[in-house]
Structure 1
Amino acid sequence: MNFPHIDPVIFSVGPLAVRWYGMMYLLGFLGGYFMMCHVVKLRNMPITKENISDLLFYAVLGVVLGGRFGYTLFYNTQYYLSHPLKILYVWEGGMSFHGGLIGVLIVLLVFCRMRHLDLLLLADVVVSAVPIGLFFGRIGNFINSELWGRVTDFPLGIVFPGGGPLPRHPSQLYEASLEGLLLFVLIYLLHRRGAARGVPAFCFLFLYGVFRFVIEFVRQPDEQLGFLWGGATMGQLLSAPMILFGLFGLIYLFRRNKT
């Protein structure tokens, strides 16, 4: 199957171009805002809409700055050291989820301290929205024809521009399905069933780490990195601590709530 021709620019007005990649981020943040408001109302949490809107503003900065600098640091350090201005060209792609996660975590820590809010409670709300952003972000990766998978004879294989003549796994769509849709459903069900404080947040870390680690087996490693220690990819190395941290967090909560 050949990659469908999708113009990365939705429309342009003079020198201003509205691109699908940016639109996906916008949809992700808007969807995340409404989801957080819904969860706060559903769980009757002591968090105001003003807190959510303020947090979203700072979270956007955390995602963009953390994601871009994370990609620069983890995936392509040498290139961006030689072309530092290219760090600002976010429309060309190149965002690290793990870097964005670190950025949002820093925002959460500072925000909770300044507003005197419970960190785990607010983290539970935030992780209900993250899969929405992940879903749209991975669709943006697909439209940009980036982060495609390894060569395959699987019927869903796609010949991507720049990916050579052989079909490859559409790993972006796999990630949109697992990290986006499935993870969203699972986290939302935890909220619907009144999961204890902190459980949705640690479940998110564990499940995202597992999904990403598995998908990396069919995702093409970044050309400038290739395979690293023990044949693992950078995505797997970054996801492993998430799995462990999420698992240990759930064990801690289970033991604490049991006593």
Structure 2
Amino acid sequence: MVPILNFIHWSVDPEIFHIGSLSVRWYGLLFASGFLIGYYIGEYMLKSEKVNPKWIDSLFFYMIIATVVGARLGHVFFYGWDYYSQNPGEIIKVWHGGLASHGGAIGILVALYIHSKLVTKRTMLWTLDRVVVPTALVAAFIRTGNLMNSEIYGVQTSLPWGFIFENNGETVPKHPTQIYEALSYLLSFGILSYLYWKTNSKNRPGLILGAFFVLIFTARFFIEFIKEDQEAFEAGMALNMGQWLSIPFVLGGIFLIIRAIKKPEVIFNNRY
């Protein structure tokens, strides 16, 4: 048996500092930093296409609201309805943690549909193909925030990089699935950036979005096999909730990729 000292003892305080009742936490800082960096990346992308600069700020606003609201409601309804139905006041306390990436994806889809109709007057796929590139990077920041919160980790492991999450009273090493996901999202960001900048993918509506869905949710599906159940109802399930929710996104991504490849390129006129 490998001595327990060979593993990583993780006891980072999720709170950076507090002033009175105001608490600044690593999770919130990483979440906000991810969005800020994602904004500048998205701004650079859209400026390179010479689109209306007013679209950029409004798109950033839509994305923030959609991600937070969608991810929070996804967590509430998919994972914690039994608790939140009895404690509705806790729903708005996003700073306590509890965001579901699947809910965030749904929220973004709804918000960008509205943005496409009201602001850009372009197809929703045009917007999504550009938004998902920095979104993959934001997802990596969020999972790093989960690590700082000592949450959403994996089952016991004997691998030398296992984390003992001491803040949660753990005494055995667990898979740091937050890191696995963050790294897979960083890889996805690199691939999507390559598709956008180095190929004609952005002229094939839905191709980059489809690649995003396949990359992100395939990684999520397989990592879930070594992740602890987030809710009691998942015990004994062949596939957990995260996996069931990932399947439609992967299938939808494959459909979008095939559809985009079969259709001719679309060169957009960026005058406004």
TM superposition score category, shorter chain reference = over 0.9
> Which amino acid counterpart does residue 229 of structure 2 have in structure 1?
P
Task: Map residues 1-259 of structure 1 onto 2, 5 A cutoff.
Answer: 1-42=7-48, 44=49, 47-115=51-119, 116-161=121-166, 162=168, 164-179=170-185, 181-193=186-198, 194-195=200-201, 196-227=204-235, 229=237, 231-257=238-264
> Which amino acid counterpart does residue 255 of structure 1 have in structure 2?
K
* Count of residues paired in the alignment: 254
CA distance in 1, matches of 2:54, 2:196: 21
Structure 1 stretches of 4+ with a deviation exceeding 6 A read: none
Query: How far apart are residue 178 of structure 1 and its match?
Result: 0.1
Change (3 A) 1:89 1:3: farther
TM-score when normalising by structure 2? 0.89
Q: Deviations over 1:168-200 (max 9, x none)?
A: 000000000002x10110000001123133211
The answer to whether the Cα contact below 8 Å between 2:46 and 2:56 also exists between their aligned partners in 1 is no
The answer to whether the Cα contact below 8 Å between 2:11 and 2:165 also exists between their aligned partners in 1 is no
CA distance in 2, matches of 1:217, 1:87: 28
Comparing 2-11 and 182-191, the one that deviates more: 2-11
Q: Deviations over 1:34-57 (max 9, x none)?
A: 111122234x2x533321211111
Comparing 94-103 and 50-59, the one that deviates more: 50-59
The answer to whether the Cα contact below 8 Å between 2:15 and 2:25 also exists between their aligned partners in 1 is yes
> Which amino acid counterpart does residue 238 of structure 1 have in structure 2?
L
Query: How far apart are residue 133 of structure 1 and its match?
Result: 1.0
The answer to whether the Cα contact below 8 Å between 1:76 and 1:224 also exists between their aligned partners in 2 is no
Instruction: Give structure 2 stretches of 5+ with no counterpart.
Output: 1-6, 266-272
Q: Deviations over 1:16-66 (max 9, x none)?
A: 221111111110110110111122234x2x533321211111211111111
Instruction: Give structure 1 stretches of 5+ with no counterpart.
Output: none
Change (3 A) 1:22 1:251: same
> Identity over the aligned pairs, expressed in percent?
35
CA distance in 1, matches of 2:33, 2:255: 33
The answer to whether the Cα contact below 8 Å between 1:175 and 1:212 also exists between their aligned partners in 2 is yes
Larger radius of gyration: 2
Query: How far apart are residue 228 of structure 1 and its match?
Result: 6.1
CA distance in 1, matches of 2:181, 2:78: 20
Change (3 A) 1:122 1:163: farther
Query: How far apart are residue 227 of structure 1 and its match?
Result: 4.0
Partner SS state of residue 225, structure 1 = helix
TM-score when normalising by structure 1? 0.93
